[in-house]
Amino acid sequence: MLHRESGNLALPAASIIKLWLLVRGLWAAQSGVVPLTERLTVGASDRAPGSGVLHELGAGLEPSWQDLLTLMVIVSDNTATNLVIGRLGLKALQDWLAAEWPQTRLVGKLQLPPPERNEAQLRGERNQTTADDAATLLGRLYRGELLDAAHTRLALDILDRQQFRDILARHVPRAAAGEPLYRVLSKSGELTGVHHDVCLLLTPRPLSVALLSVGGHDPREHPDNRDVTLLAATIWPLLAALGEVYGGHSS
């Protein structure tokens, strides 16, 4: 079943951990540590299964840092994510999260075979976060508190182009011609029984929304997953009401 819990409850992060990697990756770019134009080679051993496209392509590609950050979010590419973690350094990322986001934890790279997993992963530990952390991260990002203006715009542009839009963007109100009334800048995450979606909903007064769910029963990775459609159907009446409160539209 689906559970309603506190926003401070630590849950498996699934792919929304990539939000923090996006912010830190762009911080590294604005700091001059990793220029957006720097190219990294995708070796055969770097290709990680699961979501994304890089593991479907031949080894030897050299995407730019901006390409990797983009792929990591818009198609949730696990290979790109692991390259980002490797370039920034797992320990450095863990130290940053512990200092700035203590409820959010990065255990290691994604989708590694057992011989390559670290001790924490072998113990069964998972990346984790909370709804409060996710909503706060997006709010601070939108207000320009985490990155400079240029890199904030780039982060928001990347989030605007996420291609998995089955929950928070599924029933966004539309005008008569079919265009969405609001932009939904989002990142989703999914594991078996776990369905997350977090977004900036750009009503006239923007909303930061984090929906994290566990306990789902439908194991299918499919837009018509019963848990996903239930979440999408139940969240929008609340968001529509908030749209009225904040001067937006509802339907």
- Residue 139 included in any domain: no
In whole angstroms, what is the distance from residue 242 CA to residue 228 CA? 21
pLDDT for 156: 98
Please check whether residues 70 and 114 belong to one and the same domain.
yes
191 and 184 in contact (C-beta within 8 Å)? no
Q: What is the structure's pLDDT at 3? A: 43
Q: What is the domain-level CATH number for residue 111? A: 3.40.710.10
Note the pLDDT tens digit of each residue in 192-243. 999 999 999 998 889 999 999 999 999 988 878 999 999 998 887 777 776 5
Q: Are residues 93 and 174 in the same domain?
A: no
Residues 17 and 101 grouped into a single domain: yes
User: Any idea what DSSP says for residue 174?
Assistant: B
Number of folded domains that form the chain: 2
Question: What is the DSSP secondary-structure string of 158-214?
Answer: HHHT-S--SSTTTT--B-TTS-BSSEEEEEEEEETTEEEEEEEEESSS-EEEEEEE-
Rounded distance between C-alpha atoms, residue 240 and residue 251, angstroms: 7
Question: What is the domain extent for residue 228?
Answer: 164-251
Q: What is the pLDDT of residue 115?
A: 94
Q: Can you read off the two tokens belonging to residue 183? A: 């932009």
| 209 falls within a domain | yes
The backbone region for 69, taken as left when phi is positive above 0, alpha when psi lies in -120 to 50, beta otherwise, is alpha
Residue ranges in the chain modelled with pLDDT below 50: 1-4, 245-251
pLDDT of amino acid 242: 66
Instruction: Give a yes or no: residue 66 inside a domain.
Output: yes
Asked whether residue 134 is domain-assigned, the answer is: no
Q: What pLDDT is attached to residue 235? A: 82
Confidence (pTM): 0.92
Q: Are residues 121 and 174 in the same domain?
A: no
| pLDDT tens, residue by residue, 73-83 | 999 999 999 99
